[in-house]
Amino acid sequence: MFKQVKQSKAYQDVVEQIQESIMAGTLKAGCLLPAERELKEQFGISRGTLREALRVLEQKGLIEIRTGVSGGSMVREINSDNLSDNLGLLIRNCAVSLKDLAEFREEMEGGVAALAAERVGADDVALLKALLVEAEGYLSQGRSGWDAFIRTDEQLHLALARMSGNLLFQTVLQSLYANIHTYYVKYLPVNQTLLQENYTDLCNIVAAVILRNSEDARAVAQSHVRRFNSYMEQKVAG
């Protein structure tokens, strides 16, 4: 199944070959990889190099290493949870620059808003309006309502992702909003003025979606991300 690797980058080659076999379906979910002795012979590598490669594959969520008599390396099912976990780890640890995060969100959230405008239904409209009412209520509470306001903001964005009908958008934005608070705490000066501005943006996005104006929805969502990223950049610069 496998071929010998170049010793200068042995463990990377092992990772790539096994990963390609999993992606191609040659190795299916639930299957056990060959025993360590057999893998060492096929790849022409040491036990230490093989184990390093297997640890990398486990970190990627592609295999599960089981110990004991009936243990071994089992191929995991590839699903959206793996993507979500890895993305969440990057964001939660602020491992993505503000610039990269803004560019990513601008394209992602703009596209989601545009698709939601094209696919919105009557029940969706009712939900969006209810979330705006909820957000306005928290906004009026002042400082005591800020955290709840931000959570409602996230619920609205996730509702738009569901309306888009695209599983990848839903998965990625779910992970994004579950972990982005580290950036808010570190970079965003939360105050009543900013929250009011945020609420106005939400109202404008929802209005464009209800009118099925996809380009306006995209433009408002992108403008919102750019503006709030500029606030965070200003805090870094200051």
Q: What is the pLDDT of residues 154-197, one digit of tens each?
A: 999 999 999 999 988 998 898 888 888 888 888 888 899 999 99
- Is 161 in contact with 210 (CB distance < 8 Å)? no
Model's pTM, two decimal places?
Answer: 0.68
Look up residue 233 and give its two tokens.
């950049």
Q: All domains of the chain, ordered by start, with CATH?
A: 7-75 (1.10.10.10), 81-237 (1.20.120.530)
Mean model confidence pLDDT for the chain: 89
What b/e string do you get for 205-238 counting C-beta neighbours within 10 Å, with b at 16 or more? bbebbbeebbebbbbbbbebbeebbeebeeeeee
pLDDT digits (tens, 9 = 90+) for 102-145: 999 999 999 999 999 999 999 999 999 999 999 999 999 999 99
